């Protein structure tokens, strides 16, 4: 394998990999079961010490 082949592979399949990872993170963040956990975490900066 030369540099051009590796670069083409990384550009095409790397994009698909990162897009799939993005979709998984989005599903995790928007899953109804996780809403309470994220709402609680969003309130942490507003709490007094």
Give per-residue pLDDT as tens, 1-49.
899 999 999 999 999 999 999 999 999 999 999 999 999 999 999 998 7
pLDDT at 48: 87
For residue 20, tell me if it sits in a domain: yes
For residue 49, tell me if it sits in a domain: no
Domain count, the chain: 1
- Report the Cα–Cα distance between both ends of the chain, in Å, rounded: 57
Domain residues for the domain of 17 are 3-44
The encoded tokens of residue 32 equal: 């109804």
The encoded tokens of residue 28 equal: 């995790």
DSSP annotation of 36: H
pLDDT at 35: 94
For residue 16, the SS3 value is helix
């Amino acid at each position: 394998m030369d540099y051009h082949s590796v670069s083409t592979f990384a550009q095409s399949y790397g994009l698909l990999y990162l897009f799939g990872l993005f979709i998984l993170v989005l599903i995790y963040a928007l899953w109804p079961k996780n809403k309470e956990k994220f709402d609680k975490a969003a309130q942490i900066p507003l709490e007094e010490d």
